[in-house]
Amino acid sequence: MLSIRHLSKTYANGVRALRDISLDIPNGMFGLLGPNGAGKSSLMRTIATLQDPDEGSIRLDDMDLLADKQATRRLLGYLPQEFGVYPKVSAEAMLDHFAVLKGVVAKGERRELVEALLRQVNLWDVRKRKLGSFSGGMRQRFGIAQALIGDPRLVIVDEPTAGLDPEERNRFLNLLAEIGERVVVILSTHIVEDVTDLCQRMAIIGQGQLLLAGEPYEAIRALEGRVWRRMIDKAELDGYRARMNILSTRLAGGRTLLHVLADSLPEAGFEPVAPDLEDVYFGRLRAQVATRAA
Ligand SMILES: Nc1ncnc2c1ncn2[C@@H]1O[C@H](COP(=O)(O)OP(=O)(O)OP(=O)(O)O)[C@@H](O)[C@H]1O
Protein backbone atom coordinates (compact mmCIF):
# COMPACT_ATOMS: atom_id res chain seq x y z
CA MET A 1 0.00 0.00 0.00
CA LEU A 2 1.26 3.45 -0.96
CA SER A 3 0.25 6.15 1.52
CA ILE A 4 0.50 9.78 0.51
CA ARG A 5 -0.04 12.32 3.28
CA HIS A 6 -0.49 16.10 3.11
CA LEU A 7 1.59 16.57 -0.02
CA SER A 8 1.94 20.18 -1.16
CA LYS A 9 4.07 21.84 -3.82
CA THR A 10 4.28 25.44 -4.98
CA TYR A 11 6.67 26.17 -7.86
CA ALA A 12 9.01 29.16 -7.87
CA ASN A 13 6.62 30.99 -10.24
CA GLY A 14 3.86 30.78 -7.60
CA VAL A 15 1.81 27.97 -9.22
CA ARG A 16 0.34 25.75 -6.49
CA ALA A 17 0.58 22.41 -8.26
CA LEU A 18 -0.30 20.20 -5.25
CA ARG A 19 -2.54 21.28 -2.38
CA ASP A 20 -2.51 19.03 0.67
CA ILE A 21 -3.01 15.75 -1.19
CA SER A 22 -3.63 12.64 0.95
CA LEU A 23 -4.29 9.36 -0.80
CA ASP A 24 -4.02 5.60 -0.20
CA ILE A 25 -3.12 3.46 -3.20
CA PRO A 26 -3.34 -0.33 -2.78
CA ASN A 27 -1.99 -3.05 -5.09
CA GLY A 28 -3.56 -3.12 -8.53
CA MET A 29 -4.35 -0.52 -11.16
CA PHE A 30 -4.91 2.96 -9.82
CA GLY A 31 -6.15 5.70 -12.15
CA LEU A 32 -5.20 9.32 -11.49
CA LEU A 33 -7.53 11.40 -13.57
CA GLY A 34 -7.35 15.14 -14.18
CA PRO A 35 -7.32 17.74 -16.93
CA ASN A 36 -4.14 19.26 -18.33
CA GLY A 37 -2.36 21.26 -15.68
CA ALA A 38 -4.18 19.55 -12.78
CA GLY A 39 -0.94 18.46 -11.14
CA LYS A 40 -0.77 14.82 -12.23
CA SER A 41 2.81 14.98 -13.49
CA SER A 42 3.87 16.93 -10.42
CA LEU A 43 2.46 14.18 -8.23
CA MET A 44 4.02 11.40 -10.37
CA ARG A 45 7.42 13.09 -10.35
CA THR A 46 7.23 13.56 -6.59
CA ILE A 47 6.41 9.89 -6.01
CA ALA A 48 9.25 8.98 -8.39
CA THR A 49 11.57 11.12 -6.17
CA LEU A 50 12.49 13.38 -9.10
CA GLN A 51 11.31 16.47 -7.25
CA ASP A 52 10.74 17.31 -3.60
CA PRO A 53 7.41 18.42 -2.17
CA ASP A 54 7.31 21.46 0.12
CA GLU A 55 5.42 19.40 2.65
CA GLY A 56 4.09 15.90 3.16
CA SER A 57 5.18 12.29 3.19
CA ILE A 58 4.95 9.21 0.97
CA ARG A 59 5.27 5.69 2.38
CA LEU A 60 5.25 2.32 0.66
CA ASP A 61 4.30 -0.06 3.46
CA ASP A 62 6.98 0.66 6.08
CA MET A 63 9.33 2.56 3.83
CA ASP A 64 9.64 6.34 3.70
CA LEU A 65 10.04 6.97 -0.05
CA LEU A 66 11.29 10.53 0.24
CA ALA A 67 13.90 9.79 2.91
CA ASP A 68 15.99 7.32 0.91
CA LYS A 69 15.77 8.18 -2.77
CA GLN A 70 18.31 5.64 -3.92
CA ALA A 71 16.38 2.82 -2.25
CA THR A 72 13.11 4.16 -3.65
CA ARG A 73 14.44 4.23 -7.19
CA ARG A 74 15.45 0.59 -6.91
CA LEU A 75 11.88 -0.50 -6.33
CA LEU A 76 10.30 1.90 -8.77
CA GLY A 77 9.55 1.73 -12.49
CA TYR A 78 8.68 5.00 -14.19
CA LEU A 79 7.43 5.83 -17.66
CA PRO A 80 7.51 9.62 -17.90
CA GLN A 81 5.24 11.69 -20.11
CA GLU A 82 8.12 12.66 -22.38
CA PHE A 83 10.07 9.48 -22.83
CA GLY A 84 13.11 10.09 -25.02
CA VAL A 85 15.04 7.31 -26.74
CA TYR A 86 17.89 7.26 -29.24
CA PRO A 87 16.12 6.85 -32.59
CA LYS A 88 19.02 5.11 -34.30
CA VAL A 89 19.50 2.43 -31.67
CA SER A 90 17.64 -0.90 -31.79
CA ALA A 91 15.08 -1.77 -29.13
CA GLU A 92 17.25 -4.63 -27.92
CA ALA A 93 20.44 -2.57 -27.59
CA MET A 94 18.62 0.31 -25.88
CA LEU A 95 16.94 -1.97 -23.35
CA ASP A 96 20.28 -3.62 -22.67
CA HIS A 97 21.71 -0.16 -22.01
CA PHE A 98 18.88 0.71 -19.61
CA ALA A 99 19.49 -2.58 -17.78
CA VAL A 100 23.17 -1.64 -17.31
CA LEU A 101 22.09 1.73 -15.91
CA LYS A 102 19.77 -0.05 -13.48
CA GLY A 103 22.67 -2.12 -12.23
CA VAL A 104 22.19 -5.43 -14.04
CA VAL A 105 25.88 -5.90 -14.76
CA ALA A 106 26.17 -9.66 -15.43
CA LYS A 107 25.96 -10.16 -19.18
CA GLY A 108 24.14 -13.48 -19.19
CA GLU A 109 21.55 -12.30 -16.68
CA ARG A 110 21.03 -9.15 -18.74
CA ARG A 111 20.52 -11.09 -21.98
CA GLU A 112 17.84 -13.22 -20.33
CA LEU A 113 16.16 -10.20 -18.78
CA VAL A 114 16.08 -8.22 -22.03
CA GLU A 115 14.61 -11.17 -23.89
CA ALA A 116 11.95 -11.81 -21.22
CA LEU A 117 10.92 -8.16 -21.17
CA LEU A 118 10.80 -7.78 -24.95
CA ARG A 119 8.63 -10.89 -25.13
CA GLN A 120 6.37 -9.62 -22.35
CA VAL A 121 5.65 -6.36 -24.18
CA ASN A 122 5.40 -8.16 -27.51
CA LEU A 123 8.39 -6.49 -29.17
CA TRP A 124 10.64 -9.53 -29.46
CA ASP A 125 10.06 -9.94 -33.20
CA VAL A 126 11.05 -6.31 -33.85
CA ARG A 127 13.94 -6.18 -31.39
CA LYS A 128 16.49 -5.40 -34.11
CA ARG A 129 14.53 -2.47 -35.47
CA LYS A 130 15.60 1.09 -34.69
CA LEU A 131 13.44 2.81 -32.10
CA GLY A 132 12.96 5.75 -34.46
CA SER A 133 10.92 3.49 -36.75
CA PHE A 134 8.51 2.42 -33.97
CA SER A 135 4.87 3.53 -33.88
CA GLY A 136 3.62 5.45 -30.83
CA GLY A 137 2.16 2.29 -29.32
CA MET A 138 5.36 0.31 -29.84
CA ARG A 139 7.36 3.10 -28.24
CA GLN A 140 5.09 3.11 -25.20
CA ARG A 141 5.36 -0.66 -24.88
CA PHE A 142 9.12 -0.26 -25.05
CA GLY A 143 8.77 2.36 -22.30
CA ILE A 144 6.99 -0.19 -20.15
CA ALA A 145 9.73 -2.75 -20.77
CA GLN A 146 12.37 -0.34 -19.44
CA ALA A 147 10.13 0.55 -16.48
CA LEU A 148 9.94 -3.14 -15.53
CA ILE A 149 13.70 -3.65 -15.28
CA GLY A 150 14.58 -4.63 -11.73
CA ASP A 151 11.15 -6.07 -10.91
CA PRO A 152 9.67 -2.88 -9.38
CA ARG A 153 7.03 -2.97 -6.64
CA LEU A 154 5.64 0.33 -7.82
CA VAL A 155 5.12 1.29 -11.46
CA ILE A 156 4.20 4.83 -12.48
CA VAL A 157 3.03 5.67 -15.99
CA ASP A 158 2.31 9.29 -16.86
CA GLU A 159 -0.29 9.86 -19.60
CA PRO A 160 0.82 6.86 -21.65
CA THR A 161 -2.17 6.56 -23.99
CA ALA A 162 -2.28 10.12 -25.34
CA GLY A 163 -1.87 9.94 -29.10
CA LEU A 164 -2.33 6.17 -29.42
CA ASP A 165 -4.87 4.80 -31.89
CA PRO A 166 -7.66 2.64 -30.38
CA GLU A 167 -6.01 -0.68 -31.14
CA GLU A 168 -2.63 0.37 -29.76
CA ARG A 169 -4.31 1.87 -26.72
CA ASN A 170 -6.17 -1.35 -26.06
CA ARG A 171 -3.04 -3.42 -26.37
CA PHE A 172 -1.17 -1.07 -24.06
CA LEU A 173 -3.92 -1.10 -21.42
CA ASN A 174 -4.05 -4.91 -21.51
CA LEU A 175 -0.34 -4.99 -20.85
CA LEU A 176 -0.73 -2.62 -17.89
CA ALA A 177 -3.58 -4.73 -16.51
CA GLU A 178 -1.33 -7.80 -16.50
CA ILE A 179 1.35 -5.91 -14.61
CA GLY A 180 -1.25 -4.53 -12.20
CA GLU A 181 -2.05 -8.04 -11.01
CA ARG A 182 1.29 -8.15 -9.22
CA VAL A 183 2.30 -4.63 -8.15
CA VAL A 184 1.01 -1.11 -7.52
CA VAL A 185 0.50 0.59 -10.88
CA ILE A 186 -0.40 4.28 -11.00
CA LEU A 187 -1.72 5.43 -14.34
CA SER A 188 -2.11 9.15 -14.80
CA THR A 189 -4.40 10.20 -17.62
CA HIS A 190 -6.87 12.81 -18.80
CA ILE A 191 -8.75 10.12 -20.75
CA VAL A 192 -11.75 8.97 -18.72
CA GLU A 193 -12.12 5.65 -20.59
CA ASP A 194 -8.60 4.62 -19.57
CA VAL A 195 -9.79 4.59 -15.98
CA THR A 196 -13.22 3.11 -16.73
CA ASP A 197 -11.69 0.24 -18.68
CA LEU A 198 -8.85 -0.58 -16.38
CA CYS A 199 -8.80 0.68 -12.82
CA GLN A 200 -10.35 -0.78 -9.68
CA ARG A 201 -9.55 2.41 -7.81
CA MET A 202 -9.11 6.00 -8.83
CA ALA A 203 -8.66 9.60 -7.81
CA ILE A 204 -9.63 12.81 -9.56
CA ILE A 205 -7.47 15.90 -9.18
CA GLY A 206 -8.11 19.42 -10.41
CA GLN A 207 -6.00 22.54 -9.83
CA GLY A 208 -3.74 20.61 -7.47
CA GLN A 209 -6.61 19.47 -5.24
CA LEU A 210 -7.89 15.97 -4.59
CA LEU A 211 -11.55 16.00 -5.66
CA LEU A 212 -12.45 12.33 -5.26
CA ALA A 213 -10.82 9.05 -4.28
CA GLY A 214 -12.41 5.63 -4.36
CA GLU A 215 -13.85 3.00 -6.67
CA PRO A 216 -15.13 4.16 -10.07
CA TYR A 217 -18.15 1.89 -9.70
CA GLU A 218 -19.17 3.45 -6.37
CA ALA A 219 -18.68 6.98 -7.62
CA ILE A 220 -20.92 6.21 -10.60
CA ARG A 221 -23.55 4.60 -8.37
CA ALA A 222 -23.70 7.73 -6.22
CA LEU A 223 -25.03 9.62 -9.23
CA GLU A 224 -27.76 7.12 -10.08
CA GLY A 225 -31.14 8.74 -10.72
CA ARG A 226 -29.58 12.23 -10.84
CA VAL A 227 -28.30 12.50 -14.41
CA TRP A 228 -30.59 13.71 -17.18
CA ARG A 229 -30.00 14.26 -20.84
CA ARG A 230 -31.46 16.20 -23.69
CA MET A 231 -30.53 17.08 -27.28
CA ILE A 232 -30.46 20.83 -27.87
CA ASP A 233 -29.26 23.26 -30.51
CA LYS A 234 -25.92 24.84 -29.75
CA ALA A 235 -27.48 28.31 -29.63
CA GLU A 236 -29.61 27.28 -26.63
CA LEU A 237 -26.62 26.21 -24.58
CA ASP A 238 -25.99 29.49 -22.75
CA GLY A 239 -29.59 29.58 -21.56
CA TYR A 240 -29.29 26.07 -20.14
CA ARG A 241 -25.98 26.93 -18.53
CA ALA A 242 -27.60 29.81 -16.66
CA ARG A 243 -30.48 27.64 -15.35
CA MET A 244 -28.98 24.23 -14.72
CA ASN A 245 -26.06 22.28 -13.35
CA ILE A 246 -24.57 21.02 -16.61
CA LEU A 247 -22.20 18.08 -16.34
CA SER A 248 -21.13 17.73 -19.94
CA THR A 249 -21.91 18.71 -23.48
CA ARG A 250 -21.04 16.48 -26.41
CA LEU A 251 -21.62 16.92 -30.08
CA ALA A 252 -23.86 14.21 -31.48
CA GLY A 253 -24.95 14.23 -35.10
CA GLY A 254 -24.38 17.98 -35.41
CA ARG A 255 -26.49 18.78 -32.34
CA THR A 256 -25.48 19.10 -28.72
CA LEU A 257 -26.18 16.40 -26.15
CA LEU A 258 -26.51 17.83 -22.66
CA HIS A 259 -25.98 15.92 -19.43
CA VAL A 260 -27.44 17.71 -16.42
CA LEU A 261 -27.19 16.91 -12.70
CA ALA A 262 -30.47 17.32 -10.81
CA ASP A 263 -32.32 15.47 -8.03
CA SER A 264 -35.52 15.42 -10.11
CA LEU A 265 -36.57 15.99 -13.72
CA PRO A 266 -35.05 19.42 -14.49
CA GLU A 267 -37.53 20.34 -17.22
CA ALA A 268 -39.93 18.68 -19.67
CA GLY A 269 -37.96 17.22 -22.57
CA PHE A 270 -35.19 15.71 -20.44
CA GLU A 271 -34.89 11.97 -19.91
CA PRO A 272 -33.02 10.01 -17.25
CA VAL A 273 -29.72 8.46 -18.27
CA ALA A 274 -27.49 5.89 -16.56
CA PRO A 275 -24.49 7.83 -15.18
CA ASP A 276 -20.97 7.00 -16.28
CA LEU A 277 -17.51 7.98 -15.16
CA GLU A 278 -17.49 11.03 -17.42
CA ASP A 279 -20.47 12.35 -15.47
CA VAL A 280 -18.58 11.79 -12.22
CA TYR A 281 -15.45 13.44 -13.60
CA PHE A 282 -17.05 16.52 -15.15
CA GLY A 283 -19.36 16.86 -12.16
CA ARG A 284 -16.41 17.07 -9.76
CA LEU A 285 -14.45 19.48 -11.94
CA ARG A 286 -17.42 21.79 -12.38
CA ALA A 287 -18.23 21.71 -8.68
CA GLN A 288 -14.63 22.76 -7.96
CA VAL A 289 -14.84 25.67 -10.39
CA ALA A 290 -18.17 26.75 -8.86
CA THR A 291 -16.78 26.58 -5.30
CA ARG A 292 -13.72 28.57 -6.24
CA ALA A 293 -15.79 31.22 -8.00
CA ALA A 294 -18.11 31.58 -4.97
N1 LIG B 1 8.73 23.09 -13.14
C2 LIG B 1 7.64 23.86 -13.11
N3 LIG B 1 7.74 25.18 -12.82
C4 LIG B 1 6.64 25.96 -12.75
N5 LIG B 1 5.39 25.54 -12.97
C6 LIG B 1 5.23 24.24 -13.27
C7 LIG B 1 6.33 23.34 -13.36
N8 LIG B 1 5.86 22.11 -13.67
C9 LIG B 1 4.52 22.23 -13.78
N10 LIG B 1 4.13 23.51 -13.53
C11 LIG B 1 2.75 24.02 -13.48
O12 LIG B 1 2.08 23.30 -12.45
C13 LIG B 1 0.75 22.98 -12.82
C14 LIG B 1 0.58 21.47 -12.79
O15 LIG B 1 1.37 20.90 -13.84
P16 LIG B 1 1.50 19.33 -14.09
O17 LIG B 1 2.42 19.13 -15.24
O18 LIG B 1 1.80 18.66 -12.81
O19 LIG B 1 0.01 18.98 -14.52
P20 LIG B 1 -0.56 17.74 -15.32
O21 LIG B 1 -1.85 17.41 -14.66
O22 LIG B 1 0.44 16.67 -15.42
O23 LIG B 1 -0.86 18.36 -16.73
P24 LIG B 1 -0.26 18.00 -18.16
O25 LIG B 1 -1.06 16.83 -18.60
O26 LIG B 1 -0.54 19.24 -18.94
O27 LIG B 1 1.19 17.71 -17.94
C28 LIG B 1 0.55 23.59 -14.20
O29 LIG B 1 -0.06 24.85 -14.00
C30 LIG B 1 1.96 23.74 -14.74
O31 LIG B 1 2.03 24.81 -15.65
Assess whether 43 and 187 both reside in one domain.
Answer: yes
**Whole-number pLDDT of residue 125:** 96
- Residue at which a domain ends, from 153, 180, 215: 215
Q: How confident is the model at residue 292 (pLDDT cuts 50, 70, 90)?
A: confident
Among 9, 10, 13, 15, which residue has the most ligand 1 atoms within 8 Å of its CB, making it the best to mutate? 15
Q: Are residues 267 and 135 in the same domain?
A: no
- Residue nearest (by alpha carbon) to ligand 1 atom 9: 42
What percent of the chain shows pLDDT beyond 70? 100
Domain co-membership, 158 together with 249: no
Which atom of ligand 1 lies nearest, measured to the CA of 45?
18
pLDDT in tens, 103-161: 898 999 999 999 999 999 999 999 999 999 998 889 989 999 999 999 999 999 988 88
Å from CA of 90 to ligand 1 middle: 32
List pLDDT tens digits, range 10-37: 999 999 999 999 999 998 899 999 999 9
Residues 269 and 133 in one domain: no
The whole-model pTM stands at: 0.90
Q: Which residues lie closer than 8 Å to 172 by C-beta, 6 or more apart?
A: 137, 140, 141, 144, 160, 161, 164
Provide the mean pLDDT of the chain: 92
Same domain, 103 and 21: yes
Higher-confidence position of 168 and 211? 211
Residue 175 has pLDDT above 90, yes or no: no
Q: Which of 180, 198, 215 is the last residue of a domain?
A: 215
Is residue 171 domain-shared with residue 229, that is, in the same domain? no
Relative to the CA of 205, which ligand 1 atom is closest?
A: 21
CB of 35 shorter than 6 A to ligand 1: no
Does residue 37 have its Cβ closer than 6 Å to ligand 1? yes
Instruction: State the ipTM, two decimals.
Output: 0.95
The stretch 165-176 carries a mean pLDDT of 87
In this structure, what CATH number is given to the domain that contains residue 72? Answer: 3.40.50.300
Query: Which amino acid is it at 8?
Result: S
Q: Is the pLDDT of residue 293 over 80?
A: no
Query: Would you place residue 217 in the very low, low, confident or very high pLDDT band (cuts 50, 70, 90)?
Result: very high
Confidence band of 282 (pLDDT split at 50, 70, 90)? very high
Task: Write down the pLDDT at residue 276.
Answer: 93
Is the CB–ligand 1 distance for residue 82 below 6 Å? no
Give the pLDDT confidence score for residue 84 in this predicted structure.
79
Number of domains in the chain: 2
Contacts for 255 with CB less than 8 Å, ≥ 6 apart? 231, 232, 233, 234
> Which domain range does residue 277 map to?
221-293
Q: What is the pLDDT of residue 31?
A: 96
Give how far Cα 20 sits from Cα of 37, 227, 235, Å.
17, 31, 40
- End-of-domain residue from the set 191, 215, 239: 215
Q: How far is the CA of 188 from the centre of ligand 1 (A)?
A: 13
**pLDDT, position 83:** 79
Round to whole Å and give the CA distance between 274 and 192: 16
pLDDT of residue 172: 87
Q: State if residue 100 touches ligand 1 by the CB under 6 angstroms criterion.
A: no
pLDDT number for residue 231: 95
